[in-house]
Chain A
Amino acid sequence: MTGQRIHFTMPQRALHWLMAIMLLAMLFIGVGMVSTVGPKYLALLATHKTLGVAILALALIRLVVRLCSGAPALPANLPGAMKLVAHLSHYALYFFMIAMPVLGWGMMSAAAYPILLFGGLHLPPILPQSAVLQAVLWKAHFYFAFAFFGLILLHIAAALFHAFIRRDGVFESMAPLPIHDHAPSAQVHPAE
């Protein structure tokens, strides 16, 4: 492709959508499991820990990919304040997708729980035992989870706003499948 890149790279898009599904699943599993005393509690918790650690690994890969591949520029006519909010919110999303699993792992370490995942995997503790630390990390894991979910809702609303109302190519830049671009520049594709 010549000129300015208008899409996130394929690996970036694959990671974005895979992780979007995983993160939403994690948030629902999280609030679901802590509100049940039924037998499914145990399976949900095991899934939560396993998926959470997988997310941590993917998030770190994604961060590296992001630093290497960059991101397409936002439309030039997007107001400066909106650009700022877009950038800040993306930083925050990265922050949460890395912080949440680290907090989960950390709080379980501080509570001296063995951290067993599906498949018999056993994570080592990353912190020494400390109830005081556990309490801080647990509260952070709890409040961050709701902040994260709220931010994701705003993020989805903004993405749909770009897709339906502004129609400025921002949605297409991250679309899961290559679809026709609305962005003016997208119409000219000299031999890719």
Chain B
Amino acid sequence: MTQPDPHSPARTIGYLAVIAGVVVLGAGSFAYAAGWLSPSRLTPTKLVSALAPTSGPALGHRRNHAKGVCFSGVFEANGTGTEVSRAGVFARGTYPVLGRFNLGTPDPDAPDATVRVRGMGLQITAPDGAVWRTAMINLPFFPVATPMAFYDLLKASHSTDPGAMASFTQAHPEFARFGGWAKSAPWTTSYAEEAYNSLDAFLFVDASGARHPVRWSLLPQAPVSPVTNAELTRLGPNHLEPEITARVGQAPQRWTFNITLANPGDETDDPSKAWGPDRRMLTVGTLIVSKIEPERDGPCRDINFDPTILPDGIAVSDDPFPAARSAAYARSYDLRASETQYYPYHLQTAKSSTP
């Protein structure tokens, strides 16, 4: 510590500059990691904000699929699924289920007949406690091929520029398929008459560790009676929730749980492309819905049906959606959980505290 005087003012200033440099570098790289220096990065916050109608989000509610009702019941596995997945829920047996029927809209008060997409959030719990959550819709394919395209779609549909949608459809030709489906597919007057599809591809992992790319669907066992949009409109803005409540009150409602295995060469990374009907299909069990509860104080309210919450035996594939959805759903959950004052519980004391 002797030779050059470490206390000379010039050296001190030099060292102070080094220290300041370290601090600035640290803060700068932190800001970079947080995306503050990359305004073009698609963040969960941006994706979730883009869902909101121009009037703003419905505080306290899910940022999408906001109108819904809770259900519970069981999944009866027939054991067939064990061939392709070692997940406990496929072993023959009966497992508790919690779920939510919903409409694909950010507006919890939207009239039923104004919402084309219907969905189901589902949680199946295996005896060892492993939880599987999935959120499915009645569309047979997703309208767009990538999360970024979904964001662009949201922006275009809320844009005041009259040409925005036209230029979006031009850039994303796959979107035309959705337009066709929305116009031609029949409506139904019940959640019980809808099929719910995973659309995203996942990997099932069997007992030997082999991976099988799959998608799954819940097919209604209730007879389906198609109606027109006008007929549904005449039933009033809030038909679906009382209808499913009354129907399940009379008898449990059932869906057949089908797994579709990809053919070799099938694309797993694009949910906008349906796999054709010539795929191997396995019926792995039956979903039985036996109880409906209003969302406000119901057991599904504070659950995030994040499609990446998977038990051992199921894994994400190269489909980019599940990760994007997980990030966005977590954001939506954080927001609505911190807004409960705008959507207060009725039963402040006895509210859903499942252990």
Binding site for B on A (CB under 8 A): 27-28, 31-42, 45, 111-114, 120, 122, 128-132, 134-135, 138-139, 149, 153, 156-157, 160-161, 164-165, 167, 182
Contacts and interface: CB of A to CB of B under 8 A. Distances in A.
B304 A36 contact: no
B1 A164 contact: no
Contact of B353 (A34, A114, A130, A139): A130
Interface stretch (B15-23, B170-178, B248-256): B15-23
Interface residues on B, range: 35 or more
Interface stretch (B38-46, B69-77, B113-121, B154-162): B38-46
A167 B27 contact: no
B308 A42 contact: yes
A135 B338 contact: yes
Contacts of B340: 131-132, 135
A32 B34 contact: yes
A153 B27 contact: yes
A131 B304 CA distance: 11
A111 B337 CA distance: 9
B320 A129 contact: no
A138 B337 contact: yes
A160 B14 CA distance: 12
- Chain A binding surface SS class: helix
B324 A31 contact: no
Interface of B: 1, 6, 12, 15-16, 18-20, 22-23, 26-27, 29-30, 33-35, 41-45, 47, 129-131, 147, 301-304, 306, 308-309, 312, 316, 318, 320, 322-324, 326-328, 331, 333-334, 336-338, 340, 352-355
A36 B326 CA distance: 11
Contacts of B355: 128
19 contacts: A28-B29, A28-B30, A31-B33, A31-B35, A34-B327, A37-B147, A38-B323, A39-B320, A113-B309, A128-B353, A129-B302, A129-B354, A132-B337, A134-B302, A135-B340, A156-B23, A157-B23, A161-B19, A165-B12
Contact of A42 (B34, B129, B326, B328): B326
Contact of B19 (A32, A113, A131, A157): A157
B111 to A, nearest CB: 27
A138 B334 contact: yes
B116 to A, nearest CB: 24
A93 to B, nearest CB: 15
A37 B43 contact: yes
A36 B147 CA distance: 11
B326 A41 contact: yes
A35 B35 contact: yes
A21 B251 CA distance: 58
Chain A CB within 10 Å, residue with most, of B23, B322, B323 = B323
Contacts of A153: 23, 26-27
Nearest to B16: A165
A146 to B, nearest CB: 9
A174 to B, nearest CB: 16
A36 B337 contact: no
A153 to B, nearest CB: 5
Chain A CB within 10 Å, residue with most, of B16, B33, B147, B303 = B33
A132 B44 CA distance: 22
Contacts of B336: 131
Contacts of A165: 6, 12, 15-16
Given A135-B337, A153-B27, A160 B19 contact: yes
A96 to B, nearest CB: 15
A170 to B, nearest CB: 14
A112 B302 contact: yes
Contacts of B328: 37
Contact of B43 (A35, A138, A157): A35
Contacts of A41: 323-324, 326-327
Contacts of B131: 114
B43 A131 contact: no
B22 A160 contact: yes
Contacts of A45: 326
B34 A31 contact: yes
